[in-house]
Amino acid sequence: MIETDIGRKEVRIVESMLEQDMQQNYDFSSYFRPSIIMLKLFGFWRPDRNLKFKGIYNCYTALCSSIWVAFLLSQIIYIINNRNDVQEITAALSVTVTFTVDLIVMMFTYKNMNCLKVLIKEMNRPLFQVKCQKHYHIAKNTERMYKLMFKSCLYLAILTDALVTVVPLMGKEKKSSIKGWFPYDYTTPLYFILTYIFQNLVFIWNTFISFNIGMIILALLIQVGLQCDLLCCTLDSLDDFYTEGNVLYEISLEDKLKLTTDRERFSKEMTKNLVICIEHHRQILRVVKDVERISGTGLFILFVGGGLILCSSLFPLSVVKIGSIEFIMLLFYLICMLTVQFLYCWLGNEIIFKSSLILQSAFNTPWIGCNVKFQKILLVFMMKTSKPISILTGGLFRMSVPVFVSILRTTYSYFTLLKNIQ
């Protein structure tokens, strides 16, 4: 009996702690904070107008970008000089194509950086905030999933960079794992060290810039899916809330029982709640449009060139000795490329799936006990939510798992063609 009382007290303490946390705004911008810090550190974050050392930071960004472009030019010249050697071209193509796609993504991201900043701040708007314990648990579980995704991708990127850095030091010959043309003989000790430092610093810089841009886009996609989950949860239990100042609040059990006894008052309150849900859905669509404007073109180039990137990574993997350090390096590089494209398509597919549940949740509202006005508004809302939300890339195709499958098929076709040419 004593143990039961202690257990009940612990449950009450946990519930009171959750209520205190929900009284404070849930910081959805925390998803983006680690990536923003890294982008600032690597000189890619567009500074605010009132930044004290804005000129110095812009010079730092220009210097990093110039070095990065010089690296890419050395790759292109190397491919041109070895245009008759398929094996050498494919060995350099994996990095060159990846850097070219990254360049396009970086350009469009930097161009829309101000819009991205505004969008990140608006994720904490009152309409998107948690409103009950169910919302809080959904938000917490989603945050844990994102943190796990962030750490896993970060460790994979660091391990890949470490392997790319170590491989040239493992062999007897002074041979870089990254192909490139240089106006000197880089096999001499001094030039080899300088070239080695230059290539690996640029490779690491590119990895972290691309990684953090990708994680910001993935965080936005996760936020869209999370808001769809919160909206479904609200609609499933619409009579558990009341509206005050255009914001939903959780209603107490006593007030809920009083409200259900008066049909007209109940219908009026449910109509207010439904209007807030409709606005919530409209704002989710607005976020989707912003995400498409910020990253749609870059992701379109990524998916179009995805087959070539994966193929150029897979072909060198097929010609090296299995189990060698070079094989492991190429394998991890291929896994990185697959992971990036899969996560985009998987999260895009999740948005389609979660948004398709809004229609069913709208039907679960207490429409039977409400008046005709509520039912008419609900019917119009259900017609609007009958079409699932999706992320368009380049205005042509939607991010989904079938798109990833088509990329894999294209990769296999390219790979077969190269093997036949060889």
Percent of the chain with pLDDT over 70: 91
pLDDT digits (tens, 9 = 90+) for 45-98: 888 777 777 888 889 989 988 998 888 899 888 888 888 877 777 777 778 888
Does residue 351 carry a pLDDT above 90?
Answer: yes
Over the chain, what is the mean pLDDT? 83
Grouping H, G, I as helix, E, B as strand and the rest as coil, residue 212 is: helix
Q: What per-residue confidence (pLDDT) applies to 226?
A: 94
Could you say which DSSP state residue 243 is in? E
Tell me how far apart the alpha carbons of residues 274 and 296 are, in angstroms, rounded to a whole number.
31
Q: What per-residue confidence (pLDDT) applies to 16?
A: 44
pLDDT digits (tens, 9 = 90+) for 369-378: 888 998 999 9
Q: How many domains does the chain have?
A: 1
Mean pLDDT is highest, among 133-137, 194-198, 296-300, for: 133-137
Query: Model-level pTM?
Result: 0.87
Tell me how far apart the alpha carbons of residues 190 and 252 are, in angstroms, rounded to a whole number.
75
Angle formed at CA 392 by CA 233 and CA 347, multiple of 5 degrees:
45
Tell me how far apart the alpha carbons of residues 50 and 20 are, in angstroms, rounded to a whole number.
36
**Can you say whether the dihedral through the CA atoms of 236, 238, 244, 250 is positive or negative?**
negative
- Phi-psi label, residue 394: left if phi above 0, alpha if psi -120 to 50, beta otherwise: left
Helices 263-304, 372-384: axis angle to 10 degrees equals 10
Q: Give the residue numbers spanning the domain of 202.
A: 2-421
Q: What per-residue confidence (pLDDT) applies to 396?
A: 77
**Can you say whether the dihedral through the CA atoms of 233, 238, 240, 244 is positive or negative?**
positive
Q: What per-residue confidence (pLDDT) applies to 352?
A: 94
Angle formed at CA 13 by CA 8 and CA 15, multiple of 5 degrees:
95
Mean pLDDT is highest, among 8-12, 188-192, 271-275, for: 271-275
pLDDT digits (tens, 9 = 90+) for 113-132: 889 989 998 888 888 999 88
Q: How far is CA 51 from CA 58, 214, 275, 315, 348, in A?
A: 11, 25, 41, 47, 36
pLDDT band at 221 (very low <50, low <70, confident <90, very high): very high
**Higher-confidence position of 214 and 185:** 214
Identify which of 325, 311, 336 has the alpha carbon closest to the alpha carbon of residue 152.
336
Instruction: Take residue 149 and report the two structure tokens written for it.
Output: 């995704």
Does residue 230 carry a pLDDT above 90?
Answer: yes
**Phi and psi angles of residue 243, each rounded to the nearest 5 degrees, phi first:** -105, 135
Q: What per-residue confidence (pLDDT) applies to 233?
A: 93
Identify which of 208, 205, 163 has the alpha carbon closest to the alpha carbon of residue 332.
163
Show Cβ contacts of residue 259 under 8 Å, excluding neighbours closer than 6 positions.
239, 242, 251, 265, 266, 269
pLDDT digits (tens, 9 = 90+) for 144-178: 999 999 999 999 999 888 888 887 777 666 667 67
Q: How far is CA 22 from CA 135, 143, 281, 327, in A?
A: 9, 15, 22, 50
Reported in sequence order, the residue ranges of 245-286 that DSSP labels E, i.e. its strands, are 247-250
**Phi and psi angles of residue 97, each rounded to the nearest 5 degrees, phi first:** -65, -40
Q: What per-residue confidence (pLDDT) applies to 21?
A: 44
